[in-house]
Amino acid sequence: MKTKNLSIKIVIALILGIAVGSICNMFAQAQFVEGIDKYVFNVIGQIFLNLIFMLVVPVVFVSIVLGVVGVGDPKLLGGIGLKTLGFFLSTTAIAICIGIALALIFKPGDGHSDLLKSEDVSSYQKTLDKQSQGSDNAAEQTFDQTLINLFPKNPLQAMSEGNMLQIITFAIFIGVGIIMIGSKAQIVHKFFEQTNEVLMYIITMIMNLFAPIGTFGLVAHAFTGAGFGAIKQLGMYFFIVLLALFIHFFVVYGSALKLLGKTNPLAFYKGFLPAITLGFSASSSTATLPVSMNCSKKMGVRPEIASFVQPLGATINMDGTAIMQGVATIFIAQISGVDLSLMQLITVVVIAVVASIGTAGVPGVGLIMLAMVLNAIGLNPAAIGIILGIDRLLDMTRTSVNITGDATCALIISKNEEKKLQRNQSGANEPV
């Protein structure tokens, strides 16, 4: 099946899922709707999601090993890593600044102080109290503990738990080991290459057979549960987040692709459409990894670059989440009647950027990071309960933004490093 036809089918499934889910939401209390949602939409969506998740850990591990071996020089790899980290942190800072600026201009929280008295706030306060009682709260990890946790004590445990940062670290060590041993590790290298081919075949098969119906199930389930009802009350907040995501997606990424990557942004978006739609339906950068890397490679991104940059990005790059944090912080400050100082706004930006690395791979990371930000500037994190009703819908959109940022970075670095990599590989292939 051609990629173009698959993209069209996924988009159609996406639109149908939104339409059917929204209609079902109108009759959400009806027993037959609950049954359809639970036993049809949810089952279809979760089976598809599980099929993708099944491949995430092996794909990330094998891809990064091959990516490191493909680069060939640990020093060159370090340079690529620094450029990748610099791009991610820069775009995250830009993203949250866009969110803050739009929220300050449009003032979505003005005149809505009554929202603080809602049951959503008191209910979320109870959730926060339960989290604070846990000993392994990721938001409370110190910087030194974060650094320690980058290195797996048990690689197999890291894989079973899906700890991406630890998996990436272990894979880098394996890749460097293969490089240093050289021809003696040829069989191991060949094993990883063949395993990668098998995994890519399985991904293609799953996407061709299950992606449209899986996308429909996931989106229909999400909209049946959330619908557009909550948007009526928080319409301005919802609009500002979407506007900021739109600006970041087309203006920031588009400019980076054109100026730094010398690539037509529209052609890039078209080629990356299957991953964008899957990211929207799955609401998970990690789950979308196998497909997003496949799309990038088809668009000419060097495999070793895509294999290294995108798994790292899925773990630490959270531009869409940063936008939500910026808008949500200003929104909550406005409904609380608090005027944030310039220093507090700078604090918001710094914490959000740094926390994008420190809390990587944590479930519900966006809300955890937002709670950290609100605590830092003296606002009540229980107010997060107000935006929970529409966060599921926004989460779908910002995931698409996040994975597009990962692919954008991969393409730009691939273009810039192409000559160096070719020179490095030609040197490695010379007879000794």
Give residue 187's Cα distance to chain centre. 34
Total domain count for the chain?
1
Q: Cα separation of 74 and 52, whole Å?
A: 31
pLDDT class for 96, splitting at 50, 70, 90? very high
pLDDT class for 432, splitting at 50, 70, 90? very low
Share of the chain above pLDDT 70, in %: 86
In this prediction, residues 251-280 reach a mean pLDDT of 92
4-13, 77-86, 341-350: segment of lowest average pLDDT: 4-13
**Per-residue model confidence as pLDDT tens digits over 276-288:** 988 888 777 888 8
Residues spanned by the domain of 98 = 3-429
| Burial of 134 (C-beta count, 10 Å sphere; 0-12/13-18/19+) | exposed
Contact 421, 76 (CB under 8 A): yes
Residue 25's identity, in one-letter code, is: N
Q: Is the pLDDT of residue 136 over 60?
A: no
Phi, psi of 25, rounded to the nearest 5 degrees: -60, -30
Whole-number CA gyration radius for the chain: 22
Q: Cα separation of 428 and 422, whole Å?
A: 10
The DSSP annotation for 41-79 comes to IHHHHHHHHHHHHHHHHHHHHHHHHHHHHHH--HHHHHH
Q: Is the pLDDT of residue 246 over 90?
A: yes
Q: Which residues contact 431 (CB under 8 A, 6 or more apart)?
A: none
Within 13 Å and on the Cβ side, how many CA atoms surround 423? 6
pLDDT class for 53, splitting at 50, 70, 90? confident
pLDDT confidence of residue 287: 80
Q: Does residue 416 sit in helix, strand or coil?
A: helix
Instruction: Name the residue among 235, 265, 306 with its Cα closest to residue 68.
Output: 306
Instruction: Name the residue among 331, 330, 296 with its Cα closest to residue 311.
Output: 296
**Per-residue model confidence as pLDDT tens digits over 306-363:** 888 998 888 788 898 889 889 999 999 998 888 989 999 998 888 878 766 655 544 4
pLDDT confidence of residue 98: 95
Q: What is the CATH number of the domain that holds 27?
A: 1.10.3860.10
In this prediction, residues 262-289 reach a mean pLDDT of 88
The CB density around residue 270, as the number of other CB atoms within 10 Å, is 14
Q: Does residue 222 sit in helix, strand or coil?
A: helix
Mean pLDDT over the full length of the chain: 83
Residue 117 DSSP class: G
Within 13 Å and on the Cβ side, how many CA atoms surround 246? 7
Burial pattern 313-328, b for ≥16 Cβ within 10 A else e, equals: bbbbbbbbbbbbbbbb
